[in-house]
A = this chain, B = another copy of it.
């Protein structure tokens, strides 16, 4: 076990002094100091182990020895830019390409999901000659200027948010809480029609769509599983796989493949899990788009992107996914996790919806299954109580009421059982606390932050689970 160099208070003090205050920390009132990690476990400075249910970056498990070895060996040999020939670059591009439809054959290696999505927009705009972009409500595509513009999840945080005139926001295809729900006769077509309407409006104003960008499954937006639909993108379709690619969904290597075998995006962007924590990412597109981009006359050079170390690490990650059948594990453990959660749903009225594919699972907490009042404070309570039990989970979505599971893919059935058991106890505690509190206190005393009076006995069964329909478990 490694030791800490500073005591925790000193670490916190220095962080306050030298790190931008916009950079948030988990559990800010009592943050965790992690000094070591292995597989699906993280360890704090006292040696206390935490079960990690949230780190989709540590995709094949924290500090996987094969990945560490590949990185360390290449760091000793050579790490330079792609202006020289190197086998790692082309072997990695070839291997990555083999996971994708043939048409997607040209790679650009960059350093982050944000750099990837920005380049995707540039590719689409250059290819199409148009500027307008369609994005989804609650979408998150990155932290750089051009992506905040297309990320309602981000720009809605701004007090003075201004929609870029070239950006058009379509409803999030959320069949639980969205515009068209499971009780709609054809939500898939209804959502696709919304996109069609936007395209028509843009055309009427004399504009043209460059691209429709969408996360294959919305993550920050609330672990949304869209219904499969034939979408007219109006321009190029950019599938953002930064959060959900590389086998996480279990049935497929890429989440866009949930839309059917004949669905092929024009551009796919990758990130987080691609290097198991190493800063790297990739944009893959067609030969036609790549050639149009070149015809602009502007060179594309990325100092660190595609360097031999990043590619060695990327290759190791792909190898481990296959060698350890992590996609299969995601499918099996993900199924077990959702089965266990479904049973909890029968027991706990707070659970409004369980949805997921593989080890990408969301549990939406509501105070009322008919009105869908978000149980935001309760979701926070679950997260904090789980932390006390040394389990790391987070809540997200526009109402921060969706428990987000996206653990390293080496997560086991036992891990799933442990976290669901703890959630059961916590939800039982919340129910008891709310009952006692409601019995004792008048409704005006602020109980609303925990559980509004009169909403503690939600109606059951209003939201069918969707993962079984979409994900063909």
The chain A residues found within 8 Å of chain B, CB to CB, are 2, 4-6, 8, 11-12, 14-15, 17-26, 31-37, 42, 55, 57-58, 62-63, 67-68, 71-72, 75-87, 89-91, 93-94, 97, 105-108, 111-115, 118-119, 121-122, 143-146, 148, 154, 157-159, 271-272, 276-280, 285, 290-291, 293-294, 296-307, 309-310
Contacts and interface: CB of A to CB of B under 8 A. Distances in A.
Instruction: Name the 5 nearest CB pairs between A and B, nearest first.
Output: A14-B90, A18-B93, A72-B72, A279-B304, A79-B277
Contacts of A107: 18-20
A86 B143 contact: no
20 contacts: A19-B90, A20-B290, A20-B300, A22-B108, A22-B300, A23-B108, A24-B83, A32-B85, A42-B84, A62-B78, A62-B80, A71-B75, A72-B72, A79-B276, A112-B304, A113-B303, A143-B301, A145-B146, A157-B296, A277-B304
B15 A89 contact: yes
Nearest to A275: B304
Contacts of A122: 145
A75 B66 CA distance: 11
A191 to B, nearest CB: 28
Contacts of A90: 6, 11, 14-15, 18-19
A33 B72 contact: no
A278 B79 CA distance: 8
A470 B279 CA distance: 38
Nearest to A117: B144
A118 B145 contact: yes
A172 to B, nearest CB: 20
A72 B310 CA distance: 13
A37 to B, nearest CB: 5
A96 B374 CA distance: 44
Given A83-B26, A112-B112, A279-B279, A19 B106 contact: yes
Nearest to A90: B14
B106 A299 contact: no
Given A14-B90, A23-B299, 17 more contacts: A6-B91, A14-B93, A19-B108, A21-B106, A24-B301, A26-B84, A33-B85, A34-B84, A36-B78, A55-B81, A57-B303, A68-B75, A68-B76, A72-B75, A114-B302, A157-B296, A277-B309
Contacts of A78: 2, 34-37, 42, 62-63
Contact of A105 (B17, B34, B87, B280): B17
A297 B158 contact: yes
Contacts of A35: 77-78, 86-87
